[in-house]
Structure 1
Amino acid sequence: MPTTSTATLTERYISATVRSLPPEVQDDVRAELEASIADAVEARREQGEDPQSAERAVIVELGDPGVLAAGYADRPLQLIGPKYYLAWWRLLKVLLWIVPTFAAAGVALGKVFEFATFGETVGAVATVIVLSIVHVGFWTTLVFAILERTATAPRWSWNPDRLPDPSDPGPRRADLIAAVVFLVAAAGAILWDVLRGFVRDDGVPVPILDPALWPVGMGVLLALMVGELVLAVAVYRARRWTTGAAVVNTLLAVAFVVFALYLLLSDQLVNPGFLEYLAVEHAAGLAEADARAAEQGGVMNVLSVILGVVIVGSGLWDAIDGWIKAMRARRS
């Protein structure tokens, strides 16, 4: 037979409140609640309410014991509160622009080298975009949720100096972060290609870029990336694009395009060992792709043309973008 609890409503409420509190404060909270509930019940009884109704009304006014306990323990009841919400949201927006883009580009490039069909490439790219969005959202939120519960106070604070000028078209911090992430990722990809390899043959890395480029050729490419990084930092510190910055940006873009095209046209960009690997490991796919692209000179010629267009297009856009920003800053 079920037993009937003899504990009063007040005792049950106080027990539910203090059970999740640290042991060292439970007795003090229990005594405080007993006194405050007793006083509130007595005040209602003096107004003519019966004891049970008065006790129940006081308990209802106090609310959920879990919420009351969180107040005593100074414990947040939200995943991310106002203390970190804006920092979380700003960082999340930046990462959601950058990470899925680079992940999709990397997967698409890998599928091209695997001679995958268009459908397979689209499916792989769509999958990695969805997964990267989920992972970025989950891990970023998890970090800030932990900070919400462990950090005593944020290490940054807002001040009026951070107010933007409505007419200022200058570079934002997000622009600098995006430039830094892109350049670091590009440099990391070059180093990963030679040290670990995006393509491996029986566990042995097969670099896509010609190892003969080291150290001079790769040194030039990395130096150009460092130049772009220094320019991005300088523009951010100056808070505006100037004509001089646009000129430097154009020179860096032209230098990159000329150097990369020279390597591509002289067959010094792609590792011959990588081409041999494709010819052996993907002979059937390569033959089929060659047959389809016979009128264009073969699949390797098509890939070279595509890569050349990408190189020229990216350099041209980089130069034009710098001049557009400089002209906007000048008009303001």
Structure 2
Amino acid sequence: MTATLTERYISAVTKSLNPTAQDDVRVELEASIADAVEARVDQGEGQMDAERTVLTDLGDPAVLAAGYADRPLHLIGPKYFLTWWRLLKLLLWIVPVTAAAAVALGLTVSNAPVGEIIGQTIAVALSVIVHLCFWTTLVFFMLERTGADTGMKWSVDSLPEPQESGVGRGDLIASLVFLGIVAAALLWDHFVGFVVFATGDLDVNRGLDGQTGTMSLLNPELWPWWLSGALALIVLEAALAIAVYARRGWRPGLAVANTVLAVVFTAGALYLLVTGQLLNPDFLAFVADAGGEGFAAGDAEAAGEGGIFRILAVLTGVVIIGIAAWDIIDGWRKTRRQ
């Protein structure tokens, strides 16, 4: 005997349910479908058409069965979605960048080819992104299915404080004081010097033995042009800080100016660092002599990576790039908020 559409529909609904609930659901569905079909027939609709319409309105039997079984048909529901999304965004901002930077730094220190550095860095970053998305989603998928509590509950205490628009006078003063300290440090290093040496600390062959005094960290030959350029950039940074305060906040034009200043500073500093013109040769000789045999042994062990000074130069370059990148990102982030 051929089963009717109603029987086929009810069978499709109940087959995935717990056996103890199948009979109750079957009885309930039979009664509700019969009532709905009878109501349509009373309105003049044919028996077959009425039955087909009622079953169509009920929808996919698998969806209906999931409702009876209280099984979610979404990967991550509203209860966990915002927590999952906030955590994933935070991880994607931090972990891939950190991993890529670590790989790039390690390969650079080991004197790997540029192509290998770029390829390995991109591959690691993509791999980390995929793993972060998969494992974070899997954890919240399991939480969704088990109904576990994440411990994240919203309350009025978590409401953020209103942020004042514009830049306060305190921010301006702090920026100007910082820039003034940097300018004073550059001038002090050139005309006085930060490194104090005593008799016998320096190599006799360099003609400096028997002296007591100070020396500069930066190469004296940077004066006047390079140091004057650095001081000019500091003055422009101060003017930018004043402009931001006067405009009561960041604007796209100011963010562009900040980006240009950061790029110019970074390009100049990296050029001097790569060409070996940034640091004072006497200071480097002082460091090597002061380190003695231990320094020589460490330098020999690091010879495959170009020596200790090259490793320190790479680390210094990473710091310079990191500071400039943060300055640029921070400026555009504040511009977007404004």
Give the one of 44, 57, 60 matched to 1:61. 57
CA 1:139–1:20: 2 relative to 1, 3 Å:
same
Give the one of 21, 25, 31 matched to 1:29. 25
Instruction: Decide whether the 8 Å contact of 1:44 with 1:54 is kept in 2.
Output: yes
Give the one of 69, 78, 84 matched to 1:73. 69
**Cα distance in 1, alignment partners of residues 71 and 3 from structure 2:** 28
CA 1:317–1:128: 2 relative to 1, 3 Å:
closer
Give the one of 307, 311, 325 matched to 2:315. 307
CA 1:103–1:312: 2 relative to 1, 3 Å:
closer
Instruction: Decide whether the 8 Å contact of 2:109 with 2:311 is kept in 1.
Output: no
**Cα distance in 2, alignment partners of residues 164 and 150 from structure 1:** 32
After superposition, residues 146-165 of structure 1 pair within 5 angstroms as 146-151=142-147, 154-165=150-161
CA 1:168–1:20: 2 relative to 1, 3 Å:
farther
**Cα distance in 2, alignment partners of residues 23 and 37 from structure 1:** 21
CA 1:311–1:150: 2 relative to 1, 3 Å:
same
Aligned-residue Cα RMSD (Å) equals: 3.5
Q: Which amino acid aligns with 2:146?
A: T
Deviation at 1:67, TM superposition (A): 1.1
**Cα distance in 1, alignment partners of residues 22 and 36 from structure 2:** 21
Question: After alignment, is 139-148 or 303-312 more displaced?
Answer: 303-312
Give the one of 74, 81, 91 matched to 1:95. 91
**Cα distance in 2, alignment partners of residues 317 and 88 from structure 1:** 28
CA 1:152–1:130: 2 relative to 1, 3 Å:
closer
Q: SS at 1:45's partner residue?
A: helix
CA 1:131–1:309: 2 relative to 1, 3 Å:
closer
CA 1:313–1:9: 2 relative to 1, 3 Å:
closer
CA 1:315–1:115: 2 relative to 1, 3 Å:
closer
Structure 1 unmatched ranges of 5 or more? 170-260, 291-298
Counterpart for residue 210 of structure 1? none
**Cα distance in 2, alignment partners of residues 9 and 124 from structure 1:** 59
Deviation at 1:307, TM superposition (A): 2.8
Counterpart for residue 237 of structure 1? none
Deviation at 1:72, TM superposition (A): 1.0
Counterpart for residue 113 of structure 1? 109
**Cα distance in 1, alignment partners of residues 11 and 39 from structure 2:** 23
CA 1:133–1:83: 2 relative to 1, 3 Å:
same
Structure 2 unmatched ranges of 5 or more? 166-283
Q: TM-score, normalised by structure 1?
A: 0.54
Counterpart for residue 186 of structure 2? none
Counterpart for residue 16 of structure 1? 12
Deviation at 1:126, TM superposition (A): 0.7
**Cα distance in 1, alignment partners of residues 9 and 324 from structure 2:** 70
Instruction: Decide whether the 8 Å contact of 2:100 with 2:125 is kept in 1.
Output: yes
**Cα distance in 1, alignment partners of residues 93 and 21 from structure 2:** 46
Instruction: Decide whether the 8 Å contact of 2:143 with 2:149 is kept in 1.
Output: no
Deviation at 1:30, TM superposition (A): 1.0
Q: Which amino acid aligns with 1:87?
A: T
Q: Which amino acid aligns with 2:312?
A: S
Instruction: Decide whether the 8 Å contact of 1:81 with 1:148 is kept in 2.
Output: yes
Instruction: Decide whether the 8 Å contact of 2:76 with 2:140 is kept in 1.
Output: yes
Q: TM-score, normalised by structure 2?
A: 0.53
CA 1:124–1:47: 2 relative to 1, 3 Å:
same
**Cα distance in 1, alignment partners of residues 39 and 84 from structure 2:** 47
Instruction: Decide whether the 8 Å contact of 1:83 with 1:154 is kept in 2.
Output: no
CA 1:305–1:155: 2 relative to 1, 3 Å:
closer
**Cα distance in 2, alignment partners of residues 271 and 8 from structure 1:** 90
Deviation at 1:32, TM superposition (A): 0.7
**Cα distance in 2, alignment partners of residues 53 and 66 from structure 1:** 22
Deviation at 1:306, TM superposition (A): 3.3
Deviation at 1:156, TM superposition (A): 2.8
- 1:255-304 Cα deviation digits (max 9, x unpaired): xxxxxx9xx87659x9987765555xx5xxx6xxx6xxxxxxxx543322
CA 1:273–1:18: 2 relative to 1, 3 Å:
farther
The percentage of counterpart residues that share the same residue type is: 52
